[in-house]
Amino acid sequence: MKVIIVKDKLAGGKEGFKLFDEALKNGAKVFGLATGSTPVTTYDELTASDLDFSQSTSINLDEYIGLGSDHPQSYRYFMQQHLFNKKPFAHSYVPDGLNQNTEEATKNYDKIIEANPIDLQILGLGRNGHIGFNEPGTDPKSLTHKIKLTQSTIDANARFFDKATDVPQYAYSMGIGSILKSKKILLEAYGSEKSAIVKAMIEGPITSDVPASYLQKHADVTVVLDEDAASKLE
Ligand code: F6R
């Protein structure tokens, strides 16, 4: 893993931007995208730039089950607000949170990923080591699946909802196997609350207890950290 340590998430956004810029110039067509607070500064850099994604495809990592595109906490809504409304893509895929037919929703998404191999995947990092919504214990070969969110993830994401009980309990997530197939991966993590899990991801053993540790097996991962998130690294 290549680790870049910057002062803060604004500087991190500029590093993230550089990878998108470089990938686009090198002919990347498909971008795997994440939601949450982490990628926002990178998306801000993208929307402020003159990069053109009108011929590109985006595939998001995950979506809450039960939330539609008009729900302000759905990941589709988030992506529209933070990126797509300002920087349109030719096609932008997010799992269909309103499709209660798990088999159909997950298989459809796998077909999309298979037909559009991801050139650059951006990831955030859960405090429990999840990437996408692949919670600890998830099979490293997993494809798109339905997942029951852990209490740690529900608590962490409650800040976006009126109350913790409003956070959906289930989500669809791209699997770890699909994430690892991306040609290039950018993971960003900011803040001292991520420092322990950042250390486990980079310096710890590869284990399903820390799903992000599987990134150690990938040949082209760039990790962008602020000083707080990097503070426990050797
Ligand atoms: C979001 C996602 C999650 C988040 C992670 C960190 O699409 O897949 O893995 O990246 O929960 O969330 P933040 O960035 O809010 O700390």
Kindly report, residue by residue over 71-94, the tens digit of the pLDDT: 999 999 999 999 999 999 999 999
Compute how many other C-beta atoms are within 10 angstroms of the C-beta atom of residue 39.
25
Counting from 1 in the atom list of ligand 1, the atom nearest the Cα of 75 is 7
- List the domains of the chain with CATH numbers: 2-115 (3.40.50.1360)
The alpha carbon of 104 and the centre of ligand 1 are apart by a number of angstroms equal to: 25
- Is 130 assigned a catalytic role? yes
Alpha carbon nearest to ligand 1 atom 3, residue: 132
The model carries a pTM of 0.97
The alpha carbon of 132 and the centre of ligand 1 are apart by a number of angstroms equal to: 7
Give tens-digit pLDDT for 94-131: 999 999 999 999 999 999 999 999 999 999 999 999 99
Adjacency order of strands within the sheet including 145-148 = 62-64, 170-173, 145-148
63-72 core/surface letters (b: 16 or more CB in 10 A; e: else) = bbbebeeebe
Compute how many other C-beta atoms are within 10 angstroms of the C-beta atom of residue 175.
25
Query: Is this complex scored with an ipTM above 0.95?
Result: yes
Alpha carbon nearest to ligand 1 atom 5, residue: 126
CA proximity to 210, closest of 143, 158, 152:
152
- Is 8 assigned a catalytic role? no
Average pLDDT over residues 133-151: 96
- Compute the distance between CA of residue 125 and CA of residue 197 in angstroms, rounded to an integer: 8
- Compute the distance between CA of residue 97 and CA of residue 190 in angstroms, rounded to an integer: 28
Average pLDDT over residues 138-142: 98
